[in-house]
Amino acid sequence: MATISPHLNMSGENSGSTSQRRQVPKLNQRILSSLSKRSVAAHPWHDLEIGPGAPLVFNVVVEITKGSKVKYELDKKTGLIKVDRVLYSSVVYPHNYGFIPRTLCEDGDPMDVLVLMQEPVVPGCFLRARAIGLMPMIDQGEKDDKIIAVCADDPEYHHFNDLSELSPHRLAEIRRFFEDYKKNENKEVAVNEFLPAISAQEAIQRSMDLYAEYILHNLRL
């Protein structure tokens, strides 16, 4: 069997001189550790900190872009953002939508957040947000509340502190989206009266406490 000379490149040309020899790029430590399975990629739900200002100001991982008809969501096993479905109704998400890391709700998911800001942002990124209200919601008979927040680093929105500062029309748009977005799937969603910022902060704190209890329980196993 013929052997390949160490001084030949894949095209068969002689590359014996130092100046002509192709340099093989070095793999960084993260790639090497991934190849050797000695480490696991960071998981946005568990590895990203919620932030020192929580439950007032906190990190949000964006799953769905403002204006999108695609329902992206976190794949809990891999930590990647996957396409769950394209919405069946002719509606788009009115604002960027995601979850708060290191929180847990009764449905087994992290706390959902709708973030008001000027621009759409890409799925998978994270940003700082401030809770300004809570939208109590029942999705197919199960509690599925949403935090209404503003981007803490958007100069047009960062001064908002409560839902009462938003226009009634803005709140009506948000309510109508969630009431309608599953209608063509024959799934019932009920949106109750919006609650103030303090209710949102209390809900976030409860979800932080529930997550901590879950982690401690699993550490004991």
β-sheet bridge partners, residue 146:
112, 135
Cα separation of 33 and 27, whole Å? Answer: 10
Report the C-alpha gap between 123 and 113 in whole angstroms.
14
Instruction: Show which residues are catalytic.
Output: 93
**Centroid of chain to Cα 122:** 10
Q: Are 88 and 182 in contact (CB under 8 A)?
A: yes
- What's the one-letter identity of residue 65? T
Secondary structure (3-state) at 142: strand
In angstroms, the CA 41 to CA 52 distance is 23
Alpha carbon distance 120, 190 (integer Å):
26
CA distance 161 to 132: 5
**Bridge partners, 72 (sequence order):** 83
Which residue is listed with tokens 């070095």? 26
